[in-house]
Chains A and B, each alone.
Chain A
Amino acid sequence: MSLANILRHLKQALVASVWLSFLTLPIMVIRVDTVEQTVTWRWMHLAYMAGGSFVLALIWYIMMERRDQSQAKKDLETVERDSALARFLSDPRLARPLMAFGFLVAVAFPWFFSLYQTNILISALIYVVLGLGLNITVGLAGLLDLGYVAFYAVGAYTYALLNHHFHLGFWAVLPLGAVMGAFFGILLGFPVLRLRGDYLAIVTLGFGQIVRLVLENWGSFSYGPSGISNIDRPGLFGIAYSVEQATTYMYYIMLGLVLLTIFVTARLKDSRIGRAWLALREDEIACQAMGIDNTRAKLMAFSLGATLAALMGVVFAAKTTFINPASFTFMESAMILAIVVLGGMGSVLGVILGAFLLMLLPEYLRAFSEYRMLIFGATMVLVMVFRPEGLVRAKRKVYKINVETAG
């Protein structure tokens, strides 16, 4: 980067900083109380804003220049490199021992860390599976489902209600939850799947909101805003566990489910149906013209994602033993979307990384917890602008050709 360019960026950043400070001045600096008729001035905020925006703007302009350069290069060359992190992790000499080590750590985790930590990790793992589920719908098939949380709610309420009314246990309801998820996936999917990308997004958003509002208002069915409590934790053949035992049990159940989901997703990605989904995502018209029934393929992706979400709903209800409609807002859908987007649409490793980053960092950086959602939002914008393929670019399988048998 030449000196002239750096100077130019400094100037741009200065302009941006002044503009942004002016723009945010009233909101950041002034606090009014119309009842007491007082006005509070917080000039320090202006200083933070000016300084912070200058630095951020400078980084922005520099990164924009690099982005434009690399885009111009891409038109000429065909080199595509993964992020350093992804390359590091996929190096085969490293990948195996790393995975083995990771697995050992995962298995041993509850014995070395506190109950609290284990609970946090269980939450993160739930989001891993939710992310992988949405990854099938959005990442593989390209269906932007903004109401994904509705299926999560379906699973949770299925368990909560069946447990509350009929005392059915976790293991009995788990498959039922999956079935409910698939059913609702087909039910909600069928009317909307012929819609185009952004319309589909909004309709699914609408559906998600409707489900939540119905749960909130249909008190006689769902017990309204106060929710359902005293949901049973998972047991084993009727043995009820203490809180510590149940948490550990839950952890291993989740670990198993995560591994199962990873396995299923990896198998699907490079299969006949996985390729059909990718074709669907890239070009619906060509996909249909090549003999693929778009509607059926969409329905399958949509309801598979729904099934996974519903499964996690059952787990969530069993873990927190209390659910209410407030856990199933649009923000949840947006967070899961952020995980998939950040991690890399279509990439299993990416989604796992994304889930851990977005779920665990806020826990361990408590100082910033207030800013968590703000950072979520900013992350989504930044990833889309600078690295839309996410942390880990989804890669296609490299086929080894059996030269003797082929033409």
Chain B
Amino acid sequence: MEYFLQLFFGGLSRGSVYALIALGYTMVYGIIELINFAHGEIYMIGAFMGLIVAGLLTALGWPALSILAIALVISVLYSAAYGYTVEKIAYKPLRNAPRLAPLISAIGMSILLQNYIMLAQTPDFLPFPRLIPELSFMDRFSNYLGTSDMFIIATSLVVMVALTLFIKFTRMGKAMRATAQNRKMAMLVGVNVDQVISATFVIGSSLAAVGGVLIGAHVGQINFAIGFLAGIKAFTAAVLGGIGSIPGAMLGGLVLGWAESFATGYISSDYEDVFAFLLLVVILIFRPAGLLGKQRAQKV
């Protein structure tokens, strides 16, 4: 039973991070029908920014919890800026191009960002300080739910609730929903579509950055290549839940996290990554609309 709970909470924790990253994919796809290949790299950059801040502040002797808070804030700001810039350089000029073009551009951007980090920092694994403090009231759960897992789950939950409220109640949120449904019409009623698209990238990147910092603090090390795998898995989660659907991305992330956790726990841990890819392939072949997605008919 304890083992089951361990896997359950482990899955919930990793699923939350998948959800955070998946939201970025799903929002961008919902609005411009582009698979933002470079999104995984934004997550990775968020982790690196968190590391740099953490490194600076620990050298100055600041307490862990405030370092974590500041790292999150700075990382979010920077990742948002990266996301914004990537969109302006690699996607905006291709808004009217055939669909393959922005996808190829995205792949190029992903490769560029990965190598940029690798060259500017290091190809090696970098240790990430354990910023998530141990909380004594968590001790009795420590057999199956660690503090950092709980922290990740809690933080992700807060962020996702904030996002849902934002989308539902703010003006920008409504503009985003409108643009996702019908871009031309949104333009005609006065929505500044460029701004909306930029906002989408900014928000998605911010979420990914939170995930990056949390994972860095949790796992204890990061490296320039973590974005690729996390990105693919998060994209799988987004598709699983229904690409374009925000609740879908959250659900998909959790389902994937649990699936991976239980599969590696009960079946085999060697083929951990294969599960995600197999799941991706199977969903796309048999139910591309995902769990919560709508089947979109094409107008002839």
Contact = CB atoms under 8 A, between A and B. Distances in A.
Check if A and B associate. yes
Contact of B52 (A32, A199, A379): A32
B139 interface: no
Contact of A195 (B58, B235, B288): B288
Report, as a range, how many residues of chain B touch the other chain: 35 or more
Interface string B71-92: 0000000100110010001100
Contact of A370 (B82, B100, B112, B119): B119
B35 A210 contact: no
A378 B108 contact: yes
B128 interface: yes
Contact of A381 (B52, B105, B277): B105
Contacts of B228: 330
Contact of A385 (B45, B56, B105, B300): B105
A34 interface: yes
A192 B279 CA distance: 14
A198 interface: yes
Interface string A331-358: 1001001100100000000000000000
Contacts of A195: 284-285, 288
Contact of B277 (A34, A142, A206): A206
B168 interface: no
Given A206-B281, A210-B277, A376 B108 contact: yes
A202 B48 CA distance: 26
A92 B282 CA distance: 51
B117 A34 contact: no
Given A23-B81, A203-B281, A374-B112, A39 B59 contact: yes
Interface in A198-217: 198-199, 201-203, 205-207, 209-210, 213-214, 217
| Majority-rule SS of A interface residues | helix
Contacts, number: 171
Contacts of B161: none
A198 B116 contact: no
Contact of A32 (B59, B111, B113): B59
- Interface residue tally on A, bucketed by range: 35 or more
B56 A379 contact: no
B187 to A, nearest CB: 19
Nearest to A31: B121
A19 B85 contact: yes
A388 interface: yes
Interface stretch (B152-160, B172-180, B197-205, B268-276): B268-276
A144 B107 CA distance: 12
B278 A377 contact: no
Contacts of A97: none
A108 to B, nearest CB: 36
Contact of A33 (B48, B55, B274): B55
Nearest to A195: B284
B85 A20 contact: yes
Query: What are the 6 closest A-B residue pairs judged by CB atoms, nearest first?
Result: A32-B55, A380-B108, A377-B112, A377-B111, A374-B115, A381-B108
